[in-house]
Structure 1
């Protein structure tokens, strides 16, 4: 059958042999070559069918991730703006203020940059980059750039008179350390570390350590949200799988209904419900459960983030659980009970273990989505309910420190991959069942 199928695609059917005893088709082509040609045509056809999807993934998924990872180490600003200065700093020992030749090289670099068209000038990016490392460095660069055409020798006195930072060794240490095309400074900052005067990596002052605690908070909130969706979603999925179809369909509509409503609308509704003068607190006060001065603080904190995100991500737990529970025959539970097992024992030892693939799939989905969530924590989380994604967005939109944002995003991506790898080692990714 395989020979007939292959040879029929070539336009001939037959099992003739040539002078060397090889099987050939009716047109004289060796049968082996005809089969290889047919297989090659099938592979090319399959590649042509998946090529649009592959191109979409590469352009809109893989390339942006690669670009983010590259930006987290890319460091061209100082190299482009101060090439002569970096060469002059090679012999500087890092102690005190550099000598006159370094300032002369700095003057030459800045003068050359000012002669370029405004769009090609590197002074602006240089000030922004140095300001990430040292406060007021941007103002020092911009103020000096306006005055540098009027500088006269000795340039060292002219620069130190233009701004105080030129007389501080810390600025020159940063210029020398970061004068490389690639840098790890963004990752050092993302780990709440910094470089000291000797170039060693040390902890930042405690009042400036925010990112490690944010990563820990993001992980803790994601685990809590995953657990809450499991507690609420398991009974729903169980009843969906056991109810008659007409009732199960109505319950499924209720589960899917949030997907038909805008995420912003759902989050705004929780603001109305959870605020201290909102529906929930007013109802509790009206029923006498709490006094007017004892209203709960349910929003702009971690509680609000957990409640709102649990509601939003609940369907992602229910649907994988339901898809697995529908495949569990009810006769298993009846057989366990007929053999003397109590209902709870039958559920715990017979039914529940069979739902673990659905629990794993739902847990992975909810956890991965929640660990990178942005809109809901930004609206209802306040200061204590913010997650690392909100800090990444702040650096992109406000501080414009894209390198640090890329480093934080890369660390978040690597962290998720490590957790998935651990899950695969401990449980096995092949046990996941999404439907």
Structure 2
């Protein structure tokens, strides 16, 4: 057999190395792209964490944090752990001795003042009781055996169960006191949640007033903003520039300057009353400021751009031939508007209305300057507790209540239209 007739055995087929290299290169490219994307959005994530998530977490913590009693009365809190007011008996002599020792040790320090303020939230007049006892202890600290008699002799309220129950109730590390107070509720001596006293039930009315004012301003802005946005879409370029300038003008001045300017315009000797009197439409100046009328006028003027711009973007995206098509099919213009044009613009209407409502619900400066005491909104009381009384717990609780209401409105809108449509995402 010749060598030319001998066939060699076939060699094994191997995968070209280029396929593996291409796969590895693609994986590396994807990893590199993910790292670059993460690096690009890192500032946004950091900003959101520092300026949104962290303050929100701090607000939630402040609303339930309860350190004052434990810091000022550590011995008293320990002795009261096994005591309950349900039996109708006062705490033991050891608790009285611990209370006098704690107050004597903290006399003249910041913790006693914070204790007095915190206990005054539980029972009116408790601040006076704590400060009176603390001053008396600076002169004479009683022995442990006579501490009970000495405290009751100093102020007979130390012989009442209510005041000791308040200490026991306020001695927990976390408390629901502020959140309950923000909802006009309280916890009684037995631990049950009941309605607050009639003279303390103010926050639900303030919350209702806040939501009513914000809803009224939002509805007014929608009624005025929709025709204005439609006119902006249909107008010629020069007219559109003028309208856009008028809409954006409020953004170019500070909120305080705009509000102050409206006070000048709406006062009894202001521009509006001067024109009405000159035209003979009224016989005497109208009261247009420091009431609900002035508040609505100023808030609508300031918040109208928040409504117009989202509606304008929504209307601009609607093809103009749709209305012509509905007309050619015999539909009346009103029917075409309600059947075609308005449904397509609802995402913009919802986004503008929601944005306006959120901003209006949190207003503080404008109601304070142009509204009366009956028009003050929840933001005023949040600022009052944060700045004037330094009651961070109550300020945080009211802020959480308002935030919960706004989130509820947002969830309702998102469930109705969808998050993408609400955000204007195709």
TM-score (norm 2): 0.89
Aligned to 1:76: 67
Gap runs ≥5 in structure 1:
1-18
Gap runs ≥5 in structure 2:
1-11
Aligned to 1:352: 342
Query: How many Å apart are 1:358 and its aligned residue?
Result: 1.1
Q: Which residues in structure 2 correspond to 1:360-371 (within 5 Å)?
A: 360-371=350-361
Aligned to 1:124: 113
- Number of aligned residues: 409
Larger Rg: 2
| Residue pair 2:267, 2:287 contacting (<8 A) in 1 also | yes
1:48 to 19, 39, 48: 39
Aligned to 1:260: 252
Query: How many Å apart are 1:433 and its aligned residue?
Result: 5.0
Aligned to 1:228: 220
CA gap of 1:113–1:23, structure 2 versus 1, over 3 A, is: farther
| Residue pair 2:311, 2:349 contacting (<8 A) in 1 also | yes
Aligned to 1:62: 53
2:203 to 182, 198, 211: 211
What is the distance in 1 between the residues matched to 2:169 and 2:208? 30
Deviates more, 1:295-304 or 1:179-188: 295-304
Aligned to 1:98: 91
What is the distance in 2 between the residues matched to 1:159 and 1:40? 72
Query: How many Å apart are 1:266 and its aligned residue?
Result: 0.9
Aligned to 1:137: 126
SS of equivalent to 2:375: coil
Deviates more, 1:348-357 or 1:94-103: 94-103
SS of equivalent to 1:341: coil
CA gap of 1:21–1:157, structure 2 versus 1, over 3 A, is: farther
What is the distance in 2 between the residues matched to 1:314 and 1:328? 22
Query: How many Å apart are 1:197 and its aligned residue?
Result: 3.5
What is the distance in 1 between the residues matched to 2:405 and 2:14? 61
SS of equivalent to 2:194: strand
What is the distance in 2 between the residues matched to 1:236 and 1:312? 15
2:384 to 389, 394, 419: 394
What is the distance in 2 between the residues matched to 1:432 and 1:370? 19
SS of equivalent to 1:202: strand
1:225-255 deviation digits (Å, cap 9, x = unpaired): 1110011111111111011112211211111
CA gap of 1:230–1:83, structure 2 versus 1, over 3 A, is: same
What is the distance in 2 between the residues matched to 1:387 and 1:340? 50
| Residue pair 1:130, 1:138 contacting (<8 A) in 2 also | yes
1:305-341 deviation digits (Å, cap 9, x = unpaired): 2211111010011111111111222222222223323
CA gap of 1:189–1:33, structure 2 versus 1, over 3 A, is: same
What is the distance in 1 between the residues matched to 2:40 and 2:47? 13
SS of equivalent to 1:432: helix
What is the distance in 1 between the residues matched to 2:40 and 2:420? 27
2:308 to 312, 315, 318: 318
What is the distance in 2 between the residues matched to 1:301 and 1:206? 26
Query: How many Å apart are 1:47 and its aligned residue?
Result: 1.0
1:377-429 deviation digits (Å, cap 9, x = unpaired): 11112112111111111111112211011011111112211221122222222
1:159 to 140, 151, 171: 151
What is the distance in 1 between the residues matched to 2:21 and 2:341? 58
1:123-178 deviation digits (Å, cap 9, x = unpaired): 22212211222223223323322332412231122223334442332221110011
